[in-house]
Amino acid sequence: MYSNYCKVATKPITALDRCSRHLSKPMDRRGAAAVEAAILLPVFVFIFLAMIDIGQAVLLRHTVENASREAARMASKNATESVTEVHLAVVEHLQNAYPNVESTSMVQAVSTSLFYVDTSLGGNTTYAPQDLTEIPSGEAVHVTVSLDFDAVRWLPGFELWTSAFFETKSVCRRE
């Protein structure tokens, strides 16, 4: 009845054949995207907020440097008579850069110090005068401006930089 041409070659089924048949079936992937999003979304949000906070810190550092240069430039002029004038100029500069910050909190967040080194008598005596007219002409005036980052930050709950103070020093010669 059957001819030799119709014989089917059979081989024994191995464990590898069973696994490949199981893997070739379509798997149920419903909900996999939701699980992946739930795992990765908090990581991406954290990275995004960290980039914003770091960017603002870089901007603040640049702004404090400019305020320090402006303060040193003002302190070197003969028309400036007191450290209070220099401090108010720094606060005004930073207030213009960050108009959303209240002026009272800006005054509390900023500190300005000023000194000069007297080398006229051969020594290196440091003076921190309140009256800038005491500084001899040609002396280097050192101005340090410090600002609390928490006072101007956009993300107050995001504590990447906890209690960070940005401080910059500038030097100009007195006219």
- How far is CA 132 from each of CA 33, 56, 115, 175, rounded to the nearest angstrom? 67, 34, 9, 11
Judge if pTM exceeds 0.95. no
- Split at pLDDT 50, 70, 90, the class of 43 is very high
- Find the distance separating the first CA and the last CA of the chain, reported in whole Å: 121
pLDDT value at 3 more than 80: no
pLDDT-above-90 percentage for the chain: 26
Residue found by looking up tokens 């960017």 in the block: 55
Element (H, E) at 160: none
Q: Once rounded to an integer, what is the mean pLDDT over residues 109-123? A: 80
pLDDT value at 60 more than 80: yes
- 75, 170 Cβ separation under 8 angstroms: no
- Split at pLDDT 50, 70, 90, the class of 155 is confident
- What is the per-residue pLDDT for 46? 87
- Split at pLDDT 50, 70, 90, the class of 93 is very high
Which residue type occupies 73?
A: R
- 86, 74 Cβ separation under 8 angstroms: yes
Q: Once rounded to an integer, what is the mean pLDDT over residues 136-141? A: 85
Distinct helix (H) and strand (E) counts, the chain: 4, 4
- What is the per-residue pLDDT for 38? 92
- 69, 143 Cβ separation under 8 angstroms: no
